[in-house]
């Protein structure tokens, strides 16, 4: 294509298109790009329209056909107004080429919006009027059918409008000299083939990557070896950690039990609780009584030299010395053992 374009330029002496030819070509391309996505949109609208129409028909709901809707005088009038305003707006947009909207375009867009709203309301009234069916499900499907009809009508109107504009510019382009039209065709071929070439190169790179992933040039540098010693579990480490944690837990548990223990263990604890002004006369240890004696509880009499007897004697002496003064004295005698009495 590039060689054909070069040969034509050499033989014809035309290096580039005139300003008018280039302008017409750009405008045709502009409207072609706008029209391409509308074809897919129209196909989707047609599918939705047929689906909801058949659904309602299968349930015995009669609705207006598409041709009957287009024959409605009010819809015809709204479509004519829509096409006229949309044509003017599209031409403004092509002239400005994305440089922004002027005041006239704002007015046109507002008018188009009002026209499309009126068109939707009219289609709703004809396709899904109130009281069409008492079934809520079928009523909702009738509304969806009206929306699909509205999208189909607008899309067809847009495509028809763009085609008419393209035909207008194509007719102007046909009035150009034959050599310029031939140059324009060759330039289009170059652009098309260049785009195709870039796309094919992208596909080729994707194929190369896929082939490399399937059969890559990979070689083994160093073979993997199985370790004879298991990495996990490390039993020695587990035992050591368990011993340390067990010891720490035992110490913490012992400290907790000691802190929660409020019993009186020895004479020092009693002195600490009673204070320095309250003396302790003495304490009697837990005794193993001699049951062979007539009165086992008389420890001092039965065994006067025993440790228990000495404790009794110490308490007796402390009581004797403590009552020498004439002041009143209060003695507290108590026992932690059950059944021994508390005083």
Give residue limits of the domains in the chain: 19-175, 263-343
Question: Is residue 1 scored above 80 in pLDDT?
Answer: no
Mean pLDDT confidence for 97-102: 58
Mean pLDDT confidence for 222-244: 83
**What pLDDT shows up at residue 326?**
57
**What pLDDT shows up at residue 343?**
47
State the Cα–Cα distance between residues 343 and 147, nearest whole angstrom: 99
Instruction: Count other Cβ atoms within 10 Å, centred on residue 314.
Output: 14
**What pLDDT shows up at residue 176?**
63
Average pLDDT over the chain, rounded to an integer: 78
105 and 127 Cβ atoms separated by less than 8 Å: no
Q: Which of 23-37, 63-77, 180-194, 225-239 is predicted most confidently?
A: 63-77
49-53, 151-155, 185-189, 207-211, range with the lowest pLDDT = 185-189
3-state helix, strand, coil in the chain (%, to 5): 70, 0, 30
Question: Is residue 6 scored above 70 in pLDDT?
Answer: no
Question: Is residue 99 scored above 70 in pLDDT?
Answer: no
**What pLDDT shows up at residue 323?**
63
State the Cα–Cα distance between residues 284 and 296, nearest whole angstrom: 16
33-42, 81-90, 181-190, 191-200, range with the lowest pLDDT = 181-190
90 and 162 Cβ atoms separated by less than 8 Å: yes
**What pLDDT shows up at residue 252?**
95
* Integer CA distances (angstroms), 305 to 69, 106, 153, 308, in order: 130, 124, 126, 8
Q: List, in order, residues 6 or more apart from 283 with CB less than 8 Å away.
A: 267, 311
Mean pLDDT confidence for 112-120: 88
- Dihedral sign, CA of 12, 15, 21, 27? positive
E strand spans, 81-214? none
Give the three-state DSSP class for 49. Answer: helix
38 and 162 Cβ atoms separated by less than 8 Å: yes
Burial of 141 (0-12, 13-18, 19+ CB in 10 A): buried
- Dihedral sign, CA of 303, 308, 314, 319? negative
Task: Read off the pLDDT band of 215 (50, 70, 90).
Answer: low
Query: How big is the chain by its Cα radius of gyration, in Å?
Result: 54
Alpha helices in the chain (DSSP H): 2-12, 19-58, 66-70, 73-96, 103-127, 136-174, 178-214, 235-260, 267-274, 299-302, 307-322
Helix H or strand E segment including 338: none
**What pLDDT shows up at residue 162?**
84
62 and 175 Cβ atoms separated by less than 8 Å: no
Mean pLDDT confidence for 289-293: 79
Give the three-state DSSP class for 182. Answer: helix
Mean pLDDT confidence for 333-339: 68
Question: Is residue 14 scored above 60 in pLDDT?
Answer: no
Q: List, in order, residues 6 or more apart from 154 with CB less than 8 Å away.
A: 82, 116, 119
State the Cα–Cα distance between residues 232 and 234, nearest whole angstrom: 5
């Amino acid at each position: 294509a590039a060689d054909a374009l070069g040969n034509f330029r050499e033989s014809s002496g035309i290096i580039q298109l005139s300003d008018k030819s280039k302008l017409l070509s750009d405008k045709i391309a502009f409207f072609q790009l706008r029209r391409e996505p509308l074809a897919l949109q129209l196909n989707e609208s047609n599918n939705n329209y047929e689906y909801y129409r058949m659904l309602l028909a299968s349930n015995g709901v009669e609705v207006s056909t598409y041709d009957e809707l287009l024959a409605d005088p009010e819809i015809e009038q709204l479509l004519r107004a829509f096409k006229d305003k949309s044509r003017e707006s599209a031409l403004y947009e092509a002239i400005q080429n994305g440089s922004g909207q002027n005041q006239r375009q704002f007015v046109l867009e507002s008018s188009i919006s009002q026209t499309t709203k009126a068109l939707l309301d009219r289609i709703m009234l004809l396709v899904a009027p109130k009281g069409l069916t008492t079934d809520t499900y079928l009523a909702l499907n009738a509304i969806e059918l009206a929306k699909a009809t509205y999208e189909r009508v607008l899309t067809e109107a847009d495509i028809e409008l763009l085609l008419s504009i393209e035909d207008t510019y194509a007719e102007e382009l046909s009035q150009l000299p034959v050599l310029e039209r031939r140059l324009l065709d060759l330039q289009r071929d170059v652009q098309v083939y260049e785009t195709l070439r870039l796309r094919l190169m992208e596909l080729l790179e994707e194929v190369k990557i896929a082939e490399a992933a399937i059969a890559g040039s990979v070689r083994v540098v160093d073979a993997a070896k199985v370790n004879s010693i298991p990495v996990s579990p490390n039993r020695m480490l587990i035992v050591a950690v368990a011993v340390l944690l067990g010891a720490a837990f035992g110490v913490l548990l012992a400290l907790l039990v000691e802190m929660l223990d409020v019993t009186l263990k020895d004479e020092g604890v009693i002195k600490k609780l009673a204070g320095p002004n309250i003396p302790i006369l003495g304490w009697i240890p837990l005794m193993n009584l001699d049951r062979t004696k007539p009165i086992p509880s008389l420890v001092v009499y039965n065994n006067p030299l025993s440790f228990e007897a000495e404790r009794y004697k110490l308490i007796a002496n402390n009581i004797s010395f403590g009552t020498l003064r004439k002041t009143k004295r209060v003695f507290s005698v108590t026992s932690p053992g059950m059944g021994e009495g508390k005083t």
